[in-house]
Amino acid sequence: MLLQSHLGFAQFVEFGQVHRIRFSGNEYSEVNSRTQLTNSLPFWEDFSKGIDTLKWRVQGVSFTETIGINAPSVGMALFNGVNENGVPYSLQVRDQGESDYLTSRPFDLSTIASNQRNTLYLSFFWQSGGLAEAPDENDRLSLQILDATGAWQTVWQQQGGAELDRTRFFQEIIQIRPEWQHEAFQFRFYSSGRQSGPFDSWLLDYIYMNTGRSASNLTYPDRALTQSNQVRLDGYGAYPWELVEKNQTNQWSQVGNEFLNLENRFRAMEYSITASDSTGRSILSINSNTPFNPVPNTLERRSFLSRTFEDIPLIDQPGDLIFKTYLTSGDGLLFEVNQGDTLRFPSVDYRLNDTVRSTFPLRDFFAYDHGSADYSAGINQRSGQLAVLYQTPEPVFLEGISINFTNPSQANQAIDLVVWDDLSQKPIFSKEFVIPVLAPGEELAFFPIEESIQVDGDFYVGFTQFTNNFIYVGLDKLNDQGDKIYYNVGGGWAKNESVKGSLMIRPHVSKSRTDGGSNLPEVGYRIYPNPVVDDLFVEGQFSEVRIIDSFGREIFLPRESTEQGEMLNFRGQRPGIYVLNLDTPAGPKSFRILVKK
């Protein structure tokens, strides 16, 4: 999608999906492992907890909860034209070829009883494109098996094309023939198509292989949640902790989700929704064993909402709310009854997809996004500008802005960080910064604002770029706030009307300005210097000190005891706003620390 300016070439463009990976279970090292990892029957993978590297060898395949449409369960594997680092396999636009691979660990199928060898089937669900770019007719998704000679044989293949329904997951079932059943059997999925970027996308989900099946065995004794929880506070996916108490009443949305009954029989079931803090302490029971009415029918997909709630008890300090939705459906382990004995299989636990947890940050920033970029967007105009509209219910000071720049090659480019209270007027803040190189695992770059900039009501945050190349900014599709995005490519400001989603540009705010010296008003405490470059002194009565960085992670700094308290060494830390949490005789206290170079 693009928005074309009157200049003809400058554009606001949405790009393909951003590479994401989430591994479930234990991490696996090919180098350090002393034993060969193997799979066994029955085999089941629905990606609800990520991609399990104990089951799979992953080459370029990424994980997504959001790109598939009408998925069988939450979490999917995504195939496209970028490798495990999100880098295209080729820089040549026209290059075609094999790209992503998802290969099973070996199975020993040689011990299958002779009367069961014709009943071994592999089934799976696939989708063409979903919310990503759909594959062309020359692209394909393939399934191969490793035969007894060590050769890969193609046993199924699907070509792309405009005639495929990109909103539907199709199920396939393939017989694993007796001649393929050897002691080192493997299967793999791979995609072929353009290798120059995240194009020609395929989605894969709900893979099951077992004996005792037939070609018509396409239903499962499973009820699954199919997406992450949808919840907003006044339209936001994150909200400043300092502002919540006075401004949350009647501003929460209902919590939304969806289930799919994968069995060919109706099933009475209930759902519960809770809110807790990051330690797991329950704060609010929103729904408790609420029955679905009417009773879910065979193979039914249904969206549902929580009850309405006015507000949520405030957590003690900045942190995260965890919204949990879970089904009470009677799901359990796969089992079979043989001569009166019940045999249960821990490898197939249908309860895994009955629970979804979603994080809602209550920290120091506003955000429309849900925490990760699905796609990216940007403009290609020197001196072009992007801005996102925010609204604060009471006056706040800007402490900084964080931006998700999705292309690592953009590091070290200069931009002007800009703040407006009215796009028709001059900015109230503009300062040059350099896009930093992010450490592994970091998704957002934080830019501190040391000047005293106060905003109230509507305000806009964004940047000016100094290149005609696109600067890629993360775009979240879960919360469509595209009407809050504005761009200027030389002909004045224009409101976005085509790109759907939320740009990951977040303002960090505070009700009081952190300017030098201690920011603790309490008698008996001193924290200095603030801002800090290297050593921070904390003086007063406290039993514990914890430091939280701009991304919500606890960090562990070198510490030394002093006569009045402790000294914390911030040398080498990234500039930005940090939260100092103290356990004091009067209870927990939190304070902002500005770290400078």
Q: How many domains does the chain have?
A: 4
Q: Are residues 91 and 137 in the same domain?
A: yes
Point out the domain boundary residue: 363, 398, 432: 363
- Residue 4 belongs to some domain of the structure: no
The token pair at 555 is 């960090």
- Residue 358 belongs to some domain of the structure: yes
Helices (H) and strands (E) in the chain, counts: 1, 44
Question: Could you tell me the pTM of the whole model?
Answer: 0.82
Per the CB < 8 A criterion, the answer to whether 367 and 478 are in contact is no
- Residue 27 belongs to some domain of the structure: yes
How far is 202 from 20, CA to CA, in rounded Å? 15
The token pair at 385 is 């500008």
Q: Are residues 440 and 578 in the same domain?
A: no
Per the CB < 8 A criterion, the answer to whether 313 and 238 are in contact is no
How far is 87 from 80, CA to CA, in rounded Å? 11
Per the CB < 8 A criterion, the answer to whether 506 and 238 are in contact is yes
Point out the domain boundary residue: 335, 363, 391: 363
The CATH number of whichever domain residue 443 belongs to comes to 2.60.120
The pLDDT value recorded for residue 509 is 96
The CATH number of whichever domain residue 177 belongs to comes to 2.60.120.260
Q: What percent of the chain has pLDDT over 90?
A: 65
- Residue 7 belongs to some domain of the structure: no
Per the CB < 8 A criterion, the answer to whether 93 and 67 are in contact is no
Q: Are residues 183 and 210 in the same domain?
A: yes
Q: Which amino acid, residue 231?
A: V
pLDDT above 90: residue 437: no
Q: Are residues 200 and 51 in the same domain?
A: yes
Task: Give me the domain span that covers residue 274.
Answer: 225-363
Q: Which amino acid, residue 196?
A: S
Higher-confidence position of 98 and 506:
506
How far is 304 from 272, CA to CA, in rounded Å? 11
- Residue 85 belongs to some domain of the structure: yes
pLDDT above 60: residue 26: no
The CATH number of whichever domain residue 255 belongs to comes to 2.60.40.10
Phi, psi of 484 (to 5 degrees): -95, 0
Average pLDDT, the chain: 89
How far is 308 from 310, CA to CA, in rounded Å? 7
Q: Are residues 197 and 303 in the same domain?
A: no
Least confident of 120-124, 266-270, 275-279: 275-279
Q: Are residues 403 and 293 in the same domain?
A: no
Q: Are residues 95 and 195 in the same domain?
A: yes
Higher-confidence position of 192 and 27:
192
Phi, psi of 114 (to 5 degrees): -60, -35
- Residue 25 belongs to some domain of the structure: yes
Per the CB < 8 A criterion, the answer to whether 371 and 485 are in contact is no
Q: 355-363 and 239-240 as β-strands: parallel, antiparallel, unpaired? A: parallel
For the purposes of burial, counting CB atoms within 10 Å of the CB of 49, is it exposed (0-12), middle (13-18) or buried (19 or more)? Answer: middle
Model confidence pLDDT, tens digit, residues 301-341: 999 999 999 999 999 899 999 999 999 999 999 998 888 88
Residue 597 has, within 13 A of its CA and on its CB side, a CA count of: 3
Q: Are residues 170 and 86 in the same domain?
A: yes
Q: Are residues 260 and 302 in the same domain?
A: yes
Q: Are residues 384 and 359 in the same domain?
A: no
Q: Are residues 82 and 144 in the same domain?
A: yes
- Residue 470 belongs to some domain of the structure: yes
pLDDT above 50: residue 41: yes
The pLDDT value recorded for residue 1 is 37
Point out the domain boundary residue: 343, 363, 383: 363
pLDDT category at 530 given cuts 50, 70, 90 is confident
Q: Are residues 211 and 229 in the same domain?
A: no
Residues 6 or more apart whose Cβ sits within 8 Å of residue 433: 414, 415, 416, 417, 447
- Residue 8 belongs to some domain of the structure: no
The pLDDT value recorded for residue 20 is 63
Per the CB < 8 A criterion, the answer to whether 524 and 421 are in contact is no
